[in-house]
Amino acid sequence: MSKVLEHLTGSTRYQGNVVYNLAPQQLDTVLNPDSTQPNLTPEQRNNPNTEAVLGLVRLSNDNPVVTNADVTISLNNNQLTVAPVSGSTRYQGSVIYNLAPQQLDTVLNPDSTQPNLTPEQRNNPNTEAVLGLVRLSNDNPVVTNADVTISLNNNQLTVAPVSGSTRYQGSVVYNVAPQLPNVLKPAATTQIELAENERTNLQSQSVLDKIKKATDSQVQLEDVKITLIDNNKKLQVKALATSSYQGEVIYNLQQAQASELSNVLEPSTVPRKVTLPSLENLDTEANKKAVLEQIAKDQTLTLNDVTITFDNDKKTVTVATKEETKNFKGQVVYGIQQAPPSSILTPPTKTYFWSWTLLIVLVVALISGSGYYYAQGKKNPNPKSTKR
């Protein structure tokens, strides 16, 4: 920077001029003292070299003598440095400002956020991964795990500045979604016994009440999905993604007392019309399935639980539990009488079926076509009475 000293125009006393190079001005003469603590926004911290940041430390913003073109502004370790641009002949020296610690909640998500932590993260929450769950931005983050400590206590996640931090102040506390194992009965010491109707309606309040802690009333059916796994030997309770809980609990099922078949099948003393898909051979899976579907009152009873045996000679159908079946026991024997589809049946008398022990009339009717068949499959257009 130079200054030209000239003689007055028309002077008869002096002639010529003199040029002086002025010493560069000290930068601190046009800026606020270094004791100033400017407050920068997160955006300004990311990019401090702006006219707006210079305005926070400039001595006067009315007709300023120093502009952003004259200086460079940098931020390091919470210290803001203002220095002349390289090669400047106008200013010299620099000024360093200690920034006021930034409020931590300006760089983190609101405390209404509910982070979902894995079991590993619950055991060790002081990690960059956990910070990423609550950080306002994970693109070019202004706060890292080196700036904060993260702790978890009673389902509350606290993020606070590290001890002695000059960069951040304040803390943010988040409520973490509680783990189902902490609000349900412990799986290791709890065995659940389900009633027959509960096995067919697992998503029910009665099932949930069996696994909730007595002191807990917060878990609702809308929070969990209840299913049977491991060949129906275990009960899985899993938190839904839409709930305020997380995790799952798997319970061992206690074997319920086996039900008598006579209590879960239609009675053998009342006539009942049963339609079979085939008369050519009664001993088929399709016929057995048809019989069971039409006489079973408990829909959990399947062909996996019982055997069904047709006896043409004795005119009986025997439904018996398999040896490996745990939920049912016993057997029921039904008598068979074949009649035309149009027949009107009435309960038979004891005399009429004196040789049949447990009796139900199973009417065998063709699903398609016409005609009438005996159990043996012989056509008989004029059936006679079988009374003995």
Q: Tell me the pairing of strands 248-253 and 234-239.
A: antiparallel
CB neighbourhood size of 253 (10 A): 17
According to the model, what pLDDT value does residue 351 have? 28
The pair of structure tokens assigned to 118 is 């894995």
151 bridge partner residues: 158
Residue type, 381: P
How many Å apart are CA 340 and CA 366, to the nearest integer? 9
According to the model, what pLDDT value does residue 48 have? 95
Q: What is the pTM of this model?
A: 0.47
Asked if 249 and 184 count as a contact pair (C-beta separation under 8 A), the reply is yes
Confidence of residue 23 (pLDDT cuts 50, 70, 90): confident
> Stretch 376-386: mean pLDDT, rounded?
39
According to the model, what pLDDT value does residue 342 have? 36
Confidence of residue 388 (pLDDT cuts 50, 70, 90): very low
Confidence of residue 359 (pLDDT cuts 50, 70, 90): very low
Q: What is the pLDDT of residues 308-342, one digit of tens each?
A: 998 888 888 999 999 888 788 999 998 877 655 43
Which tops the pLDDT comparison, 7 or 206?
206
The average confidence (pLDDT) of the chain is 81
According to the model, what pLDDT value does residue 4 have? 53
Sign of CA dihedral 347, 350, 353, 357: positive
Lowest mean pLDDT among 78-87, 135-144, 205-214: 135-144
How many Å apart are CA 261 and CA 62, to the nearest integer? 98
Please count the CA atoms within 13 angstroms of the CA of 126 that sit on its side-chain side.
10
Query: Measuring CA to CA, which residue among 317, 356, 351 is closest to residue 334?
Result: 317
> Stretch 165-185: mean pLDDT, rounded?
90
φ, ψ for residue 142, nearest 5 deg: -90, -15
317 bridge partner residues: 310, 334
